[in-house]
Amino acid sequence: MEKLVIDGGLPLHGEVLVSGAKNAALPILCASLLTDGACTFRNVPRLRDVETMAALLRFMGAETDVTPPVVNVRGASVARPEAPYELVKQMRASVLVLGPLVARHGYAKVSLPGGCAIGARPIDQHLKGLEAMGATIKLDHGYVVAECKRLHGASIHLDMATVTGTENLMMAAALAKGRTQLIGAAREPEIEELARVLNKMGAKVDGAGTDVIHIEGVEVLHAVDHAIIPDRIEAGTFLLAVAATGGDVFVRDAIPEHMEPLLAKLRAAGAEVLREEGGIRVRSEGARSLKGGDIATAPHPGFPTDMQAQFMAVMTLARGTSVVTESVFENRYMHVPELSRMGADIEVHGRVAVVKGVAGLSGASVMATDLRASACLVIAGLTSTDRTEVLRVYHLDRGYESIEKKLRPLGARIERVRGGG
């Protein structure tokens, strides 16, 4: 196991480049299953989750060449439209092969993802939508078996704005016969990016980014060569790190339009956030100079749940009290006990966490539990003048490309060390 050792307390200065968006890359890699053509994806981040997805595509028989930031996939040779438990349990996003496989091969056998650290995260909406399009769905020893000779269009009302549910159904509808409406669709920038890729492949998707998406099914989709949008969550994590430590950093390739809710909260807290050519600049005197602020996470364009833990790290030091409400997942406060061990003053009542700013956090050995909780602990460690060790850093590597290599040039004292619990 590896850990990150951080000797914080220093402001951050300079420029950092954002990698491609993990949560755009994962569905887009699955879109390659919809065509026999050879697809090329660029600006793909070098992440564990990308490697896991490529391994799943290879398991099914697709040809892949993974040399981030370029990934080539040819789905023509898929002979086994199945996603085994061993791979799905590593990464829930594996369920994104379900829609493309049923649409292209008329059959899919995908392990149910099971819960994860942040909640139950069922896929009932994915299955309901596929059934509406004519698939028969069977549960078989922990696997979903979905079959349909040819999916047909349908009008599908989603009970909640599920991101991967919207993506799965958009991909399935692209090759269905007739017209599909996804009502109550998720509106994340990654949904719009997937629609752009599908349309470049010859699909007819309209309305992505709004809560009603129209898809006119087509007979065939062709190969695509596409560069993936930057990762708004990684970008936001860097902005919050500078807000916490103080300093002046230019986050290159960050797209302000994808990040408005976070930018508004950073400005309200008193950080200076500037749109500049090619990215976003953030300036701050450090978390102790900031005002506490309330957030309630919500589907886009609300405050992203994937930024909640990182924002909370800053609020543990900001002046006053901040009320954090996690409305999307039922258990996304795994970072709270670890922050408390560093001296944070946080009380959790169900989905609400009340954070009272303290004068400083002490270093500690802390345990990462999920991807964004790990990022939160790195931010907390960067503010503390004594040593922090973030264990189980594999969680972090799922969604952050060598975070220590990106932080060191900004002045952070952070090393990756072998060993640790």
Dmax over Cα atoms in the chain, in whole Å? 63
Q: C-beta of 382: minimal distance to ligand EPZ in Å?
A: 20
By CB under 6 A, what part of segment 329-348 binds ligand EPZ? Answer: 329
Q: Judged by CB under 6 A, does residue 74 bind ligand EPZ?
A: no
| Cβ nearer to ligand EPZ, comparing 54 with 318 | 54
| Cβ nearer to ligand EPZ, comparing 26 with 377 | 26
Neighbours of 322 (CB within 10 A): 25
User: ∠346-331-318 over CA atoms, to 5°?
Assistant: 30
Q: Judged by CB under 6 A, does residue 399 bind ligand EPZ?
A: yes
Q: Judged by CB under 6 A, does residue 92 bind ligand EPZ?
A: yes
Contact 265/332 with Cβ under 8 angstroms?
Answer: no
- Please compute, for residue 205, the number of CA atoms within 13 A of its CA located in the half-sphere on the CB side: 30
Q: C-beta of 329: minimal distance to ligand EPZ in Å?
A: 5
Q: C-beta of 164: minimal distance to ligand EPZ in Å?
A: 3
Q: Which two tokens stand for residue 77?
A: 């040779």
Q: Which of 176, 328, 353, 375 binds ligand EPZ (CB under 6 A)?
A: 328
3 state SS of 248: strand
Q: Whose CA is closest to 279, among 220, 238, 222? A: 238
Q: Judged by CB under 6 A, does residue 26 bind ligand EPZ?
A: yes
Instruction: Give backbone dihedrals phi and psi of 170, rounded to 5 degrees, phi first.
Output: -65, -40
Q: Judged by CB under 6 A, does residue 240 bind ligand EPZ?
A: no
How many residues sit in the footprint of ligand EPZ (CB under 6 A)?
Answer: 25
d(CA 287, CA 274): 18
Q: Judged by CB under 6 A, does residue 406 bind ligand EPZ?
A: no
Region from 21-29, 135-143, 234-242, 310-318 binding ligand EPZ, contact rule CB under 6 A:
21-29
Q: Judged by CB under 6 A, does residue 417 bind ligand EPZ?
A: no
Q: Judged by CB under 6 A, does residue 124 bind ligand EPZ?
A: yes
Q: C-beta of 227: minimal distance to ligand EPZ in Å?
A: 19
DSSP assignment string, 46-64: --HHHHHHHHHHHHHT-EE
> Cα torsion at 295, 300, 306, 312 (round to 10°)?
-10
Q: Judged by CB under 6 A, does residue 126 bind ligand EPZ?
A: yes
Query: How would you list the strands of the sheet with 247-252, edge to edge?
Result: 12-17, 247-252, 279-284, 272-276
Q: Which two tokens stand for residue 222?
A: 């062709």
Region from 60-68, 71-79, 158-166, 239-247 binding ligand EPZ, contact rule CB under 6 A:
158-166
Region from 80-88, 118-126, 260-268, 357-365 binding ligand EPZ, contact rule CB under 6 A:
118-126
Contact 262/238 with Cβ under 8 angstroms?
Answer: no
Q: Judged by CB under 6 A, does residue 196 bind ligand EPZ?
A: no
Residue 116 annotated among the catalytic residues of the structure = yes
Is the C-alpha dihedral spanning 233, 308, 367, 16 positive or negative?
Answer: positive
Residues in touch with ligand EPZ (CB under 6 A): 22-23, 26, 92-93, 119-126, 160, 162-165, 305-306, 328-329, 371-372, 399
